[in-house]
A and B are shown apart, each in its own frame.
Chain A
Amino acid sequence: MDRKVVIPGDLLSEEAKRSGEGTFVKDGKVYSLLYGLANCRDRINVIPLAGKYVPAPGDNVIGVVKDITFSNWIIDINSPYDGLLHISEFPKRIDADEMSKYLSLGSSTMIRVKDVDSTMKVELTLNDRKLGLLKTGRIIEINHTRVPRLIGKGGSMISMLKKELNCNIFVGQNGRIWINGGAEDMDLALKTILLIEKEAHTSGLTDRIVDFLKKEKGAGN
């Protein structure tokens, strides 16, 4: 396996063009920016082990309404930066004085990051059939650095989970996950997702999760 634990300032390569995510270039050499795992392929990426979610345009996340102002909802997206959802980004035309009827304080929603500017003003949108208010189910929070592992290569892990767990699952890039299904199915889903978070850095994880689910289901019957 071409993975290696690195700390900030570690020399990764002499070729500047191999610099990927989590690295920086100084004097034509590539160094690690973070404490994490270096993946050395054509490009060298360092995957962090911790850190805060920074919104990027196109990310689907789960947000919680924090405040309502004139024509904007202020939405907590589990990040140092709050998101703004303008009234015009709501799928339906609504009046400013009726905003809390549709999205009230404390309600959760699947939402997309529309744009982030250089001062980190985060604009959100609900204009997609895939997005919408979350009224049932549960939301759990994991570290956002573990999200790629929960989704798996080409969605292998998440599609397996959806099938095996009998649950509807939405994974937000910010580490918030919505699960919806029968109460027992959700209990198992919660357990499984927390296990994936804990073991995110190990190899052959999908296979082990399949085994874990088989065992759990066997015990239940």
Chain B
Amino acid sequence: MKMIAMDGSNISFFKEGLRLDGRRADEFRPLKIEVGVLARADGSCYVEMGGNKVIAAVYGPREVHPRHLQEATRAIVRYRYNMASFSVEERKRPGPDRRSYELSKVSREALEPVIFTSYYPRSVIDVFVEVLQADAGTRTAGINAASVALADAGIPMKSMISACAAGKVADTIVLDPMKEEDNFGQADMPIAMTPTGQITLLQMDGHLTKDEFQRAMELAIKGCRDIYEIQRKSLIEKYNQLGSELAVVQEAEVL
């Protein structure tokens, strides 16, 4: 969908109370999570969140190179967020840039608090997130994928991390803005949190009043909780698939 407007004024974001893609204000886009998609990585995950397509790979714990980054008492976590040159409409110049450095840093800090790094001194846990197709909200999709990939790699964690954004378009608070809403909207606020409600990432671009912020926070937290259930289901499903391949009846209690 092409939208030609320099200011958001002549775009209507809502039609009969529904958004441009038919969602209600408090709905996130269809989310698909697949676990263990890469054979070479220790843990991996593929996530589709609406138009976003991201893949996460986890390696480690393994030896740290270069050596000087090593920590004597804990594992270090490295997170690389990278966008493929074909992930956006206009070809993105490949390689790290200011934006991807920032996203790598905040995403790492969103995940690090739940990882028991002290279990693996002098080692590194590498997380690679590749954005194959971008449609607003790639950092949250990347964090969701990375969290599942870490679990898949057998990394000890306090809990999972789920991430979701809320935004403001046409003076309405909406959950999980898509590209049009992100580009022409008034605010975008991604968060990441544990299922117990501890926030590990909170960013905001644009303007929100105090009340709007409260409302956006509530929406995003609810989104994260729903995403957590999908993450959990995907991991349990992966285990059950192992069993069904062998045509063995497994009595695993799901939920």
> A residues within 8 Å of B by Cβ?
1, 3-5, 7-9, 22, 24, 26, 31, 33-36, 48-52, 54, 80-82, 118-120, 145, 198-199, 201-203
B167 within 8 A of A: no
Q: What's the minimum C-beta distance from B200 to chain A, rounded to whole angstroms?
A: 13
Residues A7 and B232 in contact, CB atoms below 8 Å apart: yes
Q: How far is the CA of A35 from the CA of B43 in the complex (A)?
A: 11
CA–CA, A31 to B160, complex, Å? 12
Whether the pair A5, B239 counts as a contact (CB closer than 8 A) is yes
Asked if residues B151 and A202 are in contact (CB atoms below 8 Å), the reply is no
Contact A50 B42 (CB under 8 A): yes
Contact B151 A35 (CB under 8 A): yes
* Chain A residues positioned under 8 Å from B72 (CB to CB): 119
> Cβ of A50 and Cβ of B152 under 8 Å apart?
yes
**Residue of A8, A51, A118 contacting most chain B CB atoms (<10 Å):** A8
Q: A33-B116, A54-B120, A119-B72 are in contact. Are A202 and B246 (CB under 8 A)?
A: yes
Where chain A touches its partner, the secondary structure class is loop
Can you give 27 A-B contacts (C-beta < 8 A)?
A: A5-B254, A7-B151, A7-B232, A7-B236, A8-B156, A9-B158, A9-B159, A9-B196, A24-B116, A24-B156, A31-B158, A31-B159, A33-B116, A34-B157, A50-B153, A52-B60, A80-B60, A80-B62, A80-B122, A81-B122, A81-B123, A82-B63, A119-B72, A119-B122, A120-B121, A201-B250, A202-B246
Report, nearest first, the 5 A-B pairs whose CB atoms are least far apart: A9-B159, A51-B154, A50-B154, A8-B157, A35-B151
B170 is an interface residue with CB less than 8 A from chain A: no
Contact B154 A9 (CB under 8 A): no
Given contacts A8-B159, A8-B160, A50-B42, contact A3 B114 (CB under 8 A): no
Inter-chain contact A8/B61, CB cutoff 8 Å: no
Q: Which residues of A are found within 8 Å of B157, using beta-carbon distances?
A: 8-9, 33-34
Could you list which residues of chain B lie within 8 angstroms of chain A, going by C-beta atoms? 42-43, 60-63, 72-73, 114, 116, 119-123, 151-160, 194-196, 231-232, 235-236, 239-240, 242-243, 246, 248, 250-254
CA distance A199 to B231 in the complex (A): 24
For residue B251, which residues in chain A have a CB less than 8 angstroms away from its CB? 1, 3
* Inter-subunit contact B43/A7 (CB<8 Å): no
Q: Please indicate the chain A residues that have their CB under 8 angstroms from the CB of B195 in the complex.
A: 9
* A80 near B120: Cβ-Cβ < 8 Å: yes
Q: Can you name the residue of chain A whose Cβ is closest to the Cβ of B251? A: A1
CA distance A49 to B121 in the complex (A): 22
User: Which residues on the B side are within 8 Å of A119 (C-beta)?
Assistant: 72-73, 121-122
A107 to chain B: closest CB distance in Å?
A: 21
Residues of B within 8 A of A31 (CB): 158-159
How many Å from the CB of B140 to the closest CB on chain A?
Answer: 19
Minimal beta-carbon separation of B255 from chain A (angstroms): 10
Of all chain A residues, which has the CB nearest B35? Answer: A35
Bound state CA distance, A9 and B251, in angstroms? 22
Q: Do A80 and B63 touch (CB < 8 A)?
A: yes
Contacts of A5 in B (CB 8 A): 235-236, 239-240, 252-254
Closest CB in chain B relative to A206 CB, distance in Å: 14
Instruction: Give the complex CA separation of A198 and B241 in angstroms.
Output: 12
